[in-house]
Copies of this chain bind each other. A is one copy, B any other.
Amino acid sequence: MPMDGAKTERLRETLAKYMAKKGLRSTEQRRLIVDTFFESPAHITIEELLANVRASDPKVGYATVYRTLKLLAESGIAHERRFGDGVTRYELADDEDEHHDHLICTECQAIIEFEDPRLEEIEQEIAERYGFEVQWHKHELYGVCASCQEKRNKKARNGRRK
């Protein structure tokens, strides 16, 4: 029994509509994978999701998770993300008009989400400048997070003391 917020609810509807339109079927595996995905933290990989799914049903195959995630992406309720470490990650779509972006720590791989409406405005303006019709965007700042900076400083102090 997945605990569904208003947002989740809306996404489920979107998915149902998409599947109906395309004549796709609701199977036990798909329901399980989708439910598990909805309960998972953002930026999950296929591998991770598969592990979670197998906790409920060990017989589910990698390919099914792979294909279901593709389906979610096509239907627009999930986004594929590649943060440059070679794996594809998935996250639930945002609401119609809100988007968030990411800060990615290059030391501990932490992913922090942020949001700023001004960025959206400027992006829109740029797109117009080029007659470009934006479908989605990717905005990622790579660097060192606060806690890794601290660790780094601590290490420096210890090194000196020795």
Q: Which of A's residues lie within 8 Å of B, judged by CB? A: 80, 82, 84, 103, 105-106, 112, 114, 116, 118-119, 122-123, 126-127, 129-146, 149
Contact = CB atoms under 8 A, between A and B. Distances in A.
Contacts of A136: 142-143
A78 to B, nearest CB: 15
Contacts of A123: 141
- Counted per complex, copies of this chain come to 2
B127 A141 contact: yes
Given A82-B82, A118-B122, A122-B116, A130 B145 contact: yes
Contacts of A103: 126-127, 130, 132
A100 to B, nearest CB: 11
Given A119-B122, A123-B141, A130-B145, 19 more contacts: A82-B84, A84-B138, A103-B126, A106-B135, A114-B130, A116-B126, A122-B122, A126-B141, A127-B141, A130-B146, A131-B146, A131-B149, A132-B144, A134-B141, A135-B142, A135-B143, A138-B138, A138-B142, A139-B139
